[in-house]
Chain A
Amino acid sequence: MNLLKPALIALVTFASFGAQAAPMGADEARQLLTRSGFAPTEPEVGLYASLSRQNAVDRLLRSVRSTPATPAPGWVNEAIERPGRAGEMSVEERKAFQQRLAQRGFDLRAWWMGEMLTTSTPLAEHMTLFWHNHFVSSLQKVRAPQLMYRQNLLLRRYALGNFGEMLHAIAKDPAMIIYLDSATNRKGAPNENFAREVMELFTLGEGHYSEQDIKEAARAYTGWSLERDTGEFKWRPNIHDDGIKTVLGRSGNFDGDAVLDILLAQPATAEFIVRKLWMEFVSTDTQLPANQAEIRRIAAQFRNSRYEIKVALSGIFNSPRFYAADNRATLVKSPVELVVGAVRQLGIGYGDPIAFVYTTAGLGQNLLAPPNVRGWPGGETWINSTTLLARKQFIERMLRVDELRGTRQPTDTAAAIPNAMPAQTMDVAGDAMHPKKFGKVQGAARARQEGRERMIRASASIQFDSGRYLAHFAGQPEDNLKHAVLPGAPANPLSGDLGQRQLLQALLLDPMYQLK
């Protein structure tokens, strides 16, 4: 892989030499920053507006963090606990285990949410979340928060690194080993779960392999397992099938890594990944010829770089299609983008990020618990009547905090929490709700109650002063505020004589605010 680094550097350097180009301006800076990360603050927009597109993209790609800045929860280095067979635990032990599991699930989500809210490199967070939704694992199946934490570190480490290296690493990641049943995949008794998903969802995409390829590949992955007590990856040669396998037309005594290399050698992989990135950052209409041509072009660059993710992103963010009018305001913000974007852009204050964990869960995106291995389907499916009203209610709650500022007691905000919260609380605590424990989840119920109390305290600590945000627009034409808040023209008519604050309220509640 190192041989190819010069290619990347050359590409980036070439981009830098093109710096004679005109500054991109505030409008394109907003498009770049909002879509690549989260809705930007006015100072961030100002910084990027003065750069050319290429310089802006270079800057964005150069400065990314690959480790978290927020201190991890205290327990992440504790030995992992795996629930034994039902008989091995007393009722009390099981209860304590479930309570700890649910509690740590809250901790971990709040930690990640905190990192997204405060990061100096939103692109790194956006990509970490992107990979979480690509290489899906769920705490609800893994049931070991330490392992989900380690997986999150892995996703960050490679988020803008090399896709091939990431694929090899995630395949042996302990949380993934549990999530896709790799440890139960043994010689003579194959479990095809990982073999299928790695082709269908992680690399090639449907239609580029056969059922027989899955069967053969599953044999190659046998022997990948975990050390039961430490949760570390363990190679178990005694359960590995060392016969000849034939995968995608190539035969040999392959092990799992060899098969992953076969998948990486397929052109379909680069195109599959770039198409998914395109849908994340540019447009879901990948059939449009103008979009399709760019996807192919960038996929070829990505492949030639041997899967340097920065090469793909540089191609996407420098593409004229990324800035094209017909691709603007066409993507639905995910719940995380909506909430984190609002908090960052508007300067909303908070004590404990757990409040926003509940919000996004209520909007359909419970971090660390995508609905299934395909991840959150996203796009327009984020929005139905329940979630749209919940989105607007989140905004309205922030506006109410602003209105009550100075006069309110801490309980006012808590009172503004909708009654829907118990259901959302259940969602977030779902990690302990494994079906086999149905009816015996007192521990989780207790943790839910504690989680709810923590959430109410957290909600009461939220602060928003619209005046501070609006000060950025003092003396400016109304359009500047409109352009800062909405990616396109408001869908609802605005009455003529709104003050700045009423205008901001109208814009935040406009349907267009749900888009980016």
Chain B
Amino acid sequence: MNRRNFLKTAAGGAVLGYLPMQAQAAGGNFSNLLILVELKGANDGLNTVVPYADASYYTLRPRIAIKREEVLQLSERAGLNPGLAPLLPLWKGGQMAVVEGVGYPNANLSHFRSIEIWDTASNANEYLHDGWLARAFLANPVPRTFLADGVVVGSNDMGPMENAPKGVALVNTDQFLRQSRLAEKGGFASNPALNHILKVENNIVEAAAGLHGKFEFKTQFPNNAFGNQVKTAAQVAANKSGVAALRLSLGGFDTHQNQPGTHANLMKVLAEGLLALKSSLEEIGRWNSTLVMTYSEFGRRPKENQSSGTDHGTAAPQFVFGGRVKGGLFGQAPQLARLDGNGNLPYAVDFRDLYATVLERWWGVPSRDVLGGRFAGLDLLRA
């Protein structure tokens, strides 16, 4: 794939068959896998990708700033939280994109409303029900042989896969397979609630049929809840019958009080989990066909609060990893001199540009209808 193709697809024209897989998968190249990682509770962007050369960062955060000598420098102005050290090899290998200043216009600072905006890819003043991936899969069904279109691992909310045609939630594959005998294939019903249940039953039966065998990974998965999710995701990805998207989540980011210890821990858990994810995907030869992307409902306020924590903010950096990711810094450095009336950051990259990157450039499907508008996408993939 070259840049010309990107531009052609991004321009919204017909999707060209630039990959052989597309002939089989009507509409989308779903041999490319997407793994979303939700950082629940709003991750503090400024202490994740630290603007260590900006004096105002230290003025705004006298107690909780990451010391200049502790950051893992990515450039002459940006550095990673030291807890993210396990990710450095990825950065150095050019497989980690850091997209700074991700947000949206008229940011909503309520957790549940803002994550709904992200999950449904809506405008701030628009209420949508279906997840953005659900809409994408409705318009571009995954191949019939797939065990599911989207799989939510380890949580009960479907998030971006809410109402996906073949969406499935599971905690671990063994348990899912054991229980799946309780589901039966059913037909359609005109009663919407019943129809929803029948659809879930069908999806269970189909997913279970596609989940066979257990891959023995050499990768050591971290012994915590997030590590278990990573392991489950790897198990699902190792199956022959495909899946287009997986969603993992790590909670605990709502750090209003005593942030430093908590946040350092979360960074470590995240980085170790992601490293295990990479290693396991390499084992099954899927690292080059996987895109891993973080998201979070919003960032946190630049100025620390009275409790050594941070309150709800707006824009924040997000990470994109993968064997075909073009590493580097994208977006815009935090504009600490341009805070809004609430003391929050302006955004530079609309989160839907990240989604458009996935839709147009990773899967090769049109994004305009799914995202309710034209979003350009980012040039962070290589052929």
Contacts and interface: CB of A to CB of B under 8 A. Distances in A.
Interface of A: 86, 196, 329-332, 364, 371-374, 379-381, 383-390, 392-393, 396, 418-420, 423, 435-436, 438-439, 488, 491-492, 509, 511-512, 514-515
A389 B179 contact: yes
Contacts, number: 120
A273 B168 CA distance: 34
A515 B207 CA distance: 24
A386 B194 contact: no
Contact of A385 (B110, B184, B203, B257): B203
Contacts of A379: 193
Nearest to B168: A385
Nearest to A426: B225
Contacts of B201: 388, 511
Residue from A364, A379, A392 with most neighbouring chain B CB atoms (10 Å): A392
B156 A389 contact: no
Interface string B174-185: 011001101110
A491 B189 contact: yes
B198 A419 contact: no
B20 interface: no
20 contacts: A86-B258, A331-B193, A371-B157, A372-B111, A372-B112, A380-B192, A380-B193, A384-B152, A384-B169, A384-B200, A386-B156, A389-B180, A392-B183, A420-B175, A423-B171, A435-B253, A435-B262, A436-B258, A438-B265, A439-B261
Nearest to B151: A385
B112 A381 contact: no
Contacts of A386: 156, 169-171, 176
B186 A389 contact: no
A387 B200 CA distance: 10
What size tier do the contact residues of chain B reach? 35 or more
Contacts of A373: 112
Given A389-B183, A419-B175, A436 B262 contact: yes
Given A396-B182, A435-B252, A491-B189, 6 more contacts: A372-B112, A380-B193, A386-B171, A388-B201, A436-B255, A439-B261
B254 interface: yes
B257 A392 contact: no
Contacts of A381: 157-158, 162
Contacts of B152: 384
Given A515-B193, A515-B194, A387 B156 contact: yes
B167 interface: yes
Contact of A384 (B156, B179, B189, B252): B156
A305 to B, nearest CB: 31
A370 to B, nearest CB: 11
A512 to B, nearest CB: 7
Contact of B198 (A371, A423, A491, A509): A491
Contact of B254 (A387, A435, A512): A435
A330 B176 CA distance: 27
A331 B254 CA distance: 34
Contacts of B110: 196
Contacts of B41: 435
Contacts of A512: 194
